[in-house]
Amino acid sequence: MKGEHMQRVKSAQAAEIRALKRMKDREIDTTDIPPVLDWSKAVVGKFYRPIQKPLTIRLDADVLAWLKGQGKGYQTRINNLLRSSMERAGSDPRKS
């Protein structure tokens, strides 16, 4: 009984989503959605996923050992360090 009800709810939601997809943005009534007044906890770029490119890079052996010594994900760590440096320098291409 409970599963049958959930299936009807999911089916109704799917039908509503399909109907909304067919509509133009200006035709969708959003008056029941309250405006966001407090953006203090908003995160810029939270879902931003830049395209990654493969690269061959030469690093000093001690630098590479330090990065790998912190556990798995040393390439991600390299990227995060470089991104942090780029943002501090004020060269964030996302803001262009």
Residue 94 has pLDDT above 90, yes or no: no
Domain boundaries, the chain: 2-28+46-95
Reading the block at residue 26, the tokens are 């200006």
Q: Across residues 44-52, what is the average pLDDT?
A: 87
Give which of 69, 96, 63, 61 is closest to 82, Cα–Cα: 63
Q: pLDDT higher for 7 or 93?
A: 7
pTM comes to: 0.49
Residue 5, pLDDT score: 67
Q: Tell me: the pLDDT tens digits for 56-90?
A: 999 999 999 999 999 999 999 999 999 999 999 98
Q: Which residues contact 28 (CB under 8 A, 6 or more apart)?
A: 20
